[in-house]
Structure 1
Amino acid sequence: MILAENPVTLQTVVRQLYRDELIVWRFGDEGKLIAKHDVETKSPPLYDETDERFRDRLKLNHQTGSLTITNTRTTDSGLYKVKISSNKLTVYRKYIVTISGSDLSPAVVAGIVVAVLLVAAAAAGVIYYRQKIAEIPITVSGMEGDSVEINTGVTEIQTGDVIEWQSGNEDYPTAKIIGGTGEITTYDDVHHGIFRDRLKLDKKTGSLTITNAGIEHTGPFKLLINNKYKKKFIVYIRGKSETVNEEDSVILKTDIKIKTDDEIRWLFGAEDTQIADIKVELNGETKVITKHEDADEKFKGRLKLDETTGSLTINNIRTDDAGLYKLLILSRGRTSCRKIFVYVKHVSSL
């Protein structure tokens, strides 16, 4: 488990770099270059300017090529890739990192998950490092709010077969189906209820679908058939983004309708500063809306909350409003979390 402000090191598993080896680290779906080790060209090791969020917080081990991120922030969450190449071999590794705010409940602390794919390319062709199928995680990715399906690979469950799904580093029982009977069991209370009313099992194949997926569902999953471990998966849920022009308005949607005793909280930035919340009291009628504009003066007079959905509107948006917005939904004992990264385009005056 990695909490904000703690360091995290992404290991290359290389014991010693030699002169002809090149290490290249990239971040995000766009593959932004953030670090490189190349002795022969004597290039600079760190590329903070390609992504300002990492400025002065990256350290590259020149013995192994491993990358350390210090003073971690929630905005450091995402996909990291490293390429290790020489004149004989090229190896790739992928890491999925989730950094959780230290003030959040355990329900939304996803921790750090590493999914590794090793590919070696040689002059004579392509060589693949092979392991037992159960030891190689299959990466399944999706966007927040979408449905994500984890496939068993089974064409049809046989009568009497038991398909079981486990999740988390502790292998919590998550869902089960028995072939021929159609009997389905979902364990809604594991992980503090993050799966409640969100799991579906295919009666024919046993495949598991997470509906309305959130970042709290990022992590490892295991498939067992008749009590035998078959496959391991890494689920990675990506946050959404919004792009808006300077001085325009943007609406960050919750995609829900607030129910009795629900609470909606909006947080901003790496420090998770609470900027707005709305709570429906037990009688289902009283809605308490609070805008914590004093916590971040720059939002004063520019925030609006929708009483029905909890969606947040930011008016007259500025370039310094760009960044990570986090939505916490506390509903009937279940906490869910979503992230929206807002990009603000500067509009030049003529």
Structure 2
Amino acid sequence: MQESDQCPKYSSLVGHLMSVFEEFMLILNLYSVKTSSGVFADSVTSVSVWERNSVSLNSDLTEINDDVIQWRFGDKNTVIAEINKQFDRITVYDDVLDGRFRDRLKLDKQTGSLTITNTGTEHAGVYKLQIKSEIKPFILAVYGGLESVSVKKGDSVSINSDLTEMKDDDVIQWRIKNNLIAEINKRLKGITVYDDVLDGRFRDRLKLDDQTGSLTITNTIFRDTDNYEQEINYKRMIFSVNVYDDNLVMEGDSVTLDSDTEMMDGVRILWLFGPETTLITGINKRPKGITVYDDVLDGRFRDRLKLDNQTGSLTITNTTTEHTGDYKLLINSAIKRFSLTVFTRLPVPIISNSSYCSSSSCSLVCSSVVNVSDVTLSWYKGMSVLSSISVCDLSISLSLPLEVEYQDKNTYSCVLNNPISNQTTHLDIHTLCHTCADSVHCCGPIEAVIRLVLSALVGVATVIILVYDIRSRRAERDQAHIHTSGT
């Protein structure tokens, strides 16, 4: 491995990667390089580098004695650099191959060794150092980086190749610890999944996309947690897949983190918690002992942990929000991951009459005071949501109005919830909503005032009409009297 010290985050993978490169020797018969005389090269040097790092292809010469040496790349043996001792000239061909080597090549004038700086996956492939009729071949693998993918146990996960479409001569292979588990060979138009490798753990659970080469693992299990290597024409990517078990529980309840295994003699189990991976309990079958570390983390697990001696599963009783976090189970050298979220119990929402009602409908308000974040207050009609309000703040009063027709025979309810479904409380509202028998006593003060004003207006109008009628009749009578007197 070249320049591995420049990538400390990958240091834990160095030993594993070194074993990966041993398989290069198994495919040399496919990439053997002939000399001009038709004799196969005696040896091929395999070199790897992480993307954006530098790598040197060493000539193993102490001094150049020949007039011309050349470095070639790829299937077409394109010359990318050369040294001419006769003219004391070093030439780098920046513009060949779409300029992929521009400003990246350095030649050692003394030894002829080639250094490639700021490498990319496009620099992966076969290099040849030609000195007269002799050729020294190199295979350079460029790793595009480490990508991490997390998936909940039982779900499917896709590891994407970043290809939009495979070319006609592409070969994509997927491996785990040097074990070939799946491949697509466009040259042979074949897709192969190796069900029997690794004890058959992937049987009927691997799918390959014939357009992009992406790998999908269905119905994931804990044993799928591993580093997956993808190779496309010497270009390699490493994907770290982490399968975890997601658990939700309400404060005060118990939860069991299932180990999904059976304890055997000589097996050692350790449970760790939090970002600092604090040891909280463990089992060692050889001395047959269970140890619980009550005093760690301010004693938050004191008298709450129970270990199953047969399976190693961990039960946490009387949970609190302090137990929310990531748990790791170490079974000898294997690791299983669990995520636990403990939610605070929510209060029951209160439904009350508003100050306003009418003869045809009833107006209600659902309210609650909560001291937790990320909750939602909703009105439901049957199973359908009518309206909702969500808050992220702590210690806030929530209220949500609803107007219902008296003749409506649907069932309504008010729900206060967060991700725990059994924290929802449904309340029947019909006991609070009655038809008004007497508008004065039933209805609110605003409607009562409006009705009084309307009644007063009607009364005034009636008086005005009566007065006008009386005056009109009196005027007619007086007019008739004057007419009689004149006659």
State the structure with more CA Rg: 2
Higher relative contact order (CA 8 A, sep 6+): 1
For Structure 1 versus Structure 2, the TM-score category normalised by the shorter chain is: 0.3 to 0.5
Higher helix share: 2
TM-score (norm 2): 0.31
